[in-house]
Amino acid sequence: MSTGEGPAGGRSLEDALRALTDEQRASDAVAERRRERDLRRQAAESGTLPDALRDLGERAVSVAVTTASGRTVSGTIRTVGADFVGLQSVSGTPVMVALSAVELLRPAPDAPATVGDDRALVVRAGMAGVLAELATDRLEVTVHVRSGDRVAGRLQSVGTDLVAVAADDGSVAYVPLAAVAEVALS
């Protein structure tokens, strides 16, 4: 194969093939970047809150969760249930937050972005089921409701849509599950 100029001062065959190969490589690189961008966009458009919570939990990223009551719980995600997220708060207290009460989720500033994907739930039980299990031990809890109020005492019982908390003075507070923003275990 000749490396000199071709007829009439044109490029040699080798130069033409090299240029064609370089053009193809550049075109392939552009197509690959476009494909990666499209896949990231598709993942972002199909991401859900539970997916993002699972992803952050799997990476043990510190988060701040702001609820409908205006409270912010900071800690590490330990569990994602059917309708709640369980966190280990910065103070070490386990806290369950109703997904319907989550108004803002902020990962630590140094955490890489997440969009989640379609992974299975870590825990299939809902908040009512988990609280019902905990009620058998009569644990000390603080229940924060969406209005900002709270009730503290022993978790007495959990019904289909109602949580009963017995205070130290013997009174019982009944909280509709739909009003629960978060439950902190003492």
Per-domain residue ranges of the chain: 10-46, 49-185
Amino acid letter, residue 150: R
67-103 pLDDT per residue, tens = 998 999 999 999 999 999 999 999 999 999 999 999 9
Strand order in the sheet with 150-158: 102-107, 62-67, 72-80, 84-89, 94-98, 180-185, 140-145, 150-158, 162-166, 172-176
Give me 104's structure tokens.
């803002």
- Say what the alpha-carbon torsion angle 62, 66, 70, 71 is, to the nearest 10 degrees: -30
* 144 close to 128: Cβ distance less than 8 angstroms: no
- Residue 66, helix vs strand vs coil: strand
Q: In whole angstroms, give the CA distance from residue 174 to residue 161.
A: 10
Q: In whole angstroms, give the CA distance from residue 114 to residue 77.
A: 14
Q: According to the model, what pLDDT value does residue 161 have?
A: 93
- Residue 146, helix vs strand vs coil: coil
CATH of domain 49-185: 2.30.30.100
Q: In whole angstroms, give the CA distance from residue 123 to residue 48.
A: 16
CA 177 to chain centre: 22
- Compute the average pLDDT of residues 30-52: 73
113-153 pLDDT per residue, tens = 665 544 434 677 899 999 999 999 999 999 999 999 999 99
pTM: 0.69
- Compute the average pLDDT of residues 177-185: 95
